[in-house]
Amino acid sequence: MSEQDKRIVEINGLKIEVDMRTAKRVDSYKVGDRVKVLIKGYSDTYSVSHGVIVAFDEFEARPSITICYIESNYSPDLKFVTLNKDSKDLEIAPCNDDVLIEKGEVMNRINRLIEEKKAVIQDLESKRNYFEQRFGAWFKV
């Protein structure tokens, strides 16, 4: 082992010499940690999204990590993905950079969608009421 391949690492006051050629990186995650999610799209394209770990599911055969992510900074569409040993075309990495997700902008978009759906419901309720009032005679026996 050459000097370039070894490194002294201190763990809880104990100094250990590590062979960097065989050392593995171990990431530690907890619920609430911010992560980057790499997801395969159409053909061979990949996109990076920002997310948060929401659960560790301790299934016996397939322990899993559930991640909630947002596809773009301004999308109001939250999605969930599960990472386990069978997951293909999916990776996560710690998110150490400052992400420019604007909470206010996302909340405004969600509120606009809520108002649009409320308008659709109101329109359907009006049509139902009109049908009951105007077509009621058709169904009387």
Locate 111 and state its tokens. Answer: 């509120």
- Per-residue confidence at 76, pLDDT binned at 50, 70, 90? low
Helix (H, G, I), strand (E, B) or coil at 106: helix
Torsion angle (degrees, nearest 10) of CA 104, 105, 109, 112: 60
**Cα distance between residue 11 and residue 120, in whole Å:** 60
pLDDT band at 103 (very low <50, low <70, confident <90, very high): confident
Predicted local distance difference test score (pLDDT) of residue 2: 65
Average pLDDT, rounded, for the chain: 83
Element (H, E) at 12: none
pLDDT, one tens digit per residue, over 116-137 is 999 999 999 999 999 988 887 7
Cβ pair 29, 53 in contact under 8 A: yes
From residue 15, give the alpha-carbon distance in Å to each of 8, 10, 11, 12: 6, 4, 6, 8
Please state whether the predicted TM-score (pTM) of the whole model is above 0.85.
Answer: no
So what's the pLDDT on residue 11?
67
Cα separation of 117 and 121, whole Å?
A: 6
Answer whether residue 1 shows pLDDT above 60.
Answer: no
Q: Is the pLDDT of residue 6 over 90?
A: no
Model confidence over 11-55: pLDDT tens digits? 667 777 777 777 776 778 889 888 888 888 788 888 888 889 999
Q: How far apart are CA 67 and CA 86, in angstroms?
A: 15
